[in-house]
Structure 1
């Protein structure tokens, strides 16, 4: 804390552009190196960002001038890359999910604790003004005690736009593990940790056809469930209903709704950092849009890393490993319940991350979480 984090990126695929855009305006983060199995792709990123060098994965992990490794590899590689970085004494921040399984994720958390380094994980969208304004409305009692929530994400499939969608349809992928982290992280941020779940799941097709890019027309196999539903029981007693689908076409429902004794909230897409929060009050006649009142203004992917840079030593980051592990266990348990038909208890827990006051992160002093 008190100085920029020197960051190295492993994995220079499609998502890296969004992180680069944030890093260019965050004083708390300094990008120094990038690596990818495709060396040309890493070099292209390095050439686009002044002062950044392209190196091999092993060189990046061993580099003395890197404090934190940003892991943007595919989900199946998340744990392996994280463990290697931790073994080299580096903190890690990964794209979601934390690992392909809770067993692998537990290894990451344990190794980081023993090494005295920090684990962070996407999504950091929960730090933006959308989810945080909704969080403040709940904390301020605008809807009374929360009773229930719904979280809905439906799309006909990422193969329609993604040029290499294979991993979405293999173990570690699927609508819940791919998009669920945004929704479950938001639900835990809004309503607190989950103590039990029950799930059901299905899939409609055994293969998908790529719709864009050089591989357009190629067929990829489907080896996971592509429509998942679940009910999450929060420690507070609130019940959340989750629908995640790569099979359905579109939904008119808000991405997330929170229902309380005194009103209901319409919460914006948790895959975005902003958006309108609306409230329908008990006895009211229409939805009202709440003013933006909390969260990092104009934030984007990578703000979770800047938040880590500003977190006091020894404190758990808001987009930290404990939350990511809990979210992963919740999702894995929904899938396990779907296959067994039995409710599942959640062994882990995570403290509801501290609220984010309305602020522009790049302009703040370093001790923002103290």
Structure 2
């Protein structure tokens, strides 16, 4: 990285602590300002990190902010991004890129017209776990990839999150919340997707918050909380996806990739590292050496990658990738209500691999 980049955070909720820790330890980034609808929360984060607490409007207009880190709830992603772009700022946001594909396209077109850089989480796939698995796939260890499975099962975020309402409202649910980690990893491993087929349901009409000052409060469930689907990749590989807020637990590994020569276990894509295992046709499971990815990475490495990307090049956690992931998820949900195979109208290149760094 070159000159230090000044970061302004909009949204000081639960995830912001992970980002401020990363910003504090990467010499190319400096936290300049923070904003939140809860002024007291913004002030606390500012004091803890030697930053200024501003309103969102003040932050995006501030000449001392180079890039806006958008950590708001999904429904606010597009509005905050568009305001920052209009002020000439680069933007990196939490997933998804926007609440809908239409909004995401609006944000991308605005960024292109303004000549600013736009990136989006997840950046977990840039760590040594997924990147090492990708390196082994690219090197031909498993032969031609044939299929993959991706499984995320949890009884629900209300068990730990003090304000889980948005997880169970339109724009929420297990697919839109957790799907980006798994689908982004599958694109890194197997490339873009051309068609999807999905089915979904929900087990309970309401949830009870289990922690924080609202513990015991009941909230309605207005989205499907168990989603399953098939992703048909351009390459012909088939990925089976299961995303659930309805079940107690699973012993399934997060991701498996199956090829003509071997099968591969990929670590949890919601983390940055983990062991990669291979099982040749005539062999047993064995660990593989770490060959790629950012070592000791954490949330915010995608932001650092964006700020270090030369002009004219796409960052690895790019807007086209995030749009493609959002299109896949939105199309899967459409398929759950229409019982049809849905073509994906967007695409993206596989992001550049991360060398062992």
> How far apart, in 1, do the equivalents of 2:332 and 2:183 lie?
11
Residue 8 of structure 1 contacts residue 60 of structure 1 at CA under 8 Å; is this kept in 2?
A: yes
Residues 128-147 of structure 1: matches in 2 within 5 Å?
Answer: 128-147=127-146
SS in structure 2 of the partner of residue 89 of structure 1: coil
Deviations 1:203-249 (A, max 9, x none): 11111000111101100000100000010000111000000000011
CA RMSD in angstroms comes to 0.7
> How far apart, in 2, do the equivalents of 1:107 and 1:86 lie?
11
> How far apart, in 2, do the equivalents of 1:175 and 1:55 lie?
33
What are the ranges of 5 or more consecutive residues in structure 1 without an aligned counterpart? Answer: 360-370
> How far apart, in 2, do the equivalents of 1:330 and 1:199 lie?
10
Following superposition, the deviation at residue 31 of structure 1 comes to 1.1
Match of 2:344 among 328, 346, 358: 346
Aligned twin of 1:206 = 205
Residue 2 of structure 1 contacts residue 309 of structure 1 at CA under 8 Å; is this kept in 2?
A: no
> How far apart, in 1, do the equivalents of 2:155 and 2:34 lie?
33
The number of residues matched between the two structures is 357
TM-score in terms of structure 1 length: 0.96
Residue 152 of structure 1 contacts residue 255 of structure 1 at CA under 8 Å; is this kept in 2?
A: yes
SS in structure 2 of the partner of residue 110 of structure 1: helix
> How far apart, in 2, do the equivalents of 1:24 and 1:57 lie?
21
Aligned twin of 1:240 = 239
Residues 295-310 of structure 1: matches in 2 within 5 Å?
Answer: 295-310=293-308
Deviations 1:107-136 (A, max 9, x none): 000100000011100000010000000000
> How far apart, in 1, do the equivalents of 2:24 and 2:289 lie?
28
SS in structure 2 of the partner of residue 228 of structure 1: strand
Following superposition, the deviation at residue 27 of structure 1 comes to 1.7
Residue 4 of structure 1 contacts residue 309 of structure 1 at CA under 8 Å; is this kept in 2?
A: no
TM-score in terms of structure 2 length: 0.99
Deviations 1:337-365 (A, max 9, x none): 01100000001001000100001xxxxxx
Aligned twin of 1:368 = none
Deviations 1:181-206 (A, max 9, x none): 00000000110000000000001111
Residue 151 of structure 1 contacts residue 243 of structure 1 at CA under 8 Å; is this kept in 2?
A: yes
Aligned twin of 1:318 = 316
Following superposition, the deviation at residue 25 of structure 1 comes to 1.2
> How far apart, in 1, do the equivalents of 2:290 and 2:281 lie?
21
> How far apart, in 2, do the equivalents of 1:24 and 1:60 lie?
19
Aligned twin of 1:126 = 125
> How far apart, in 1, do the equivalents of 2:22 and 2:288 lie?
26
> How far apart, in 2, do the equivalents of 1:4 and 1:276 lie?
33
> How far apart, in 1, do the equivalents of 2:148 and 2:34 lie?
40
Deviations 1:120-171 (A, max 9, x none): 0000001000000000010111000100000000001000111100000001
> How far apart, in 2, do the equivalents of 1:188 and 1:130 lie?
15
> How far apart, in 1, do the equivalents of 2:3 and 2:281 lie?
48
Residues 56-205 of structure 1: matches in 2 within 5 Å?
Answer: 56-205=55-204
Mapped pair 1:27 → 2:27: yes
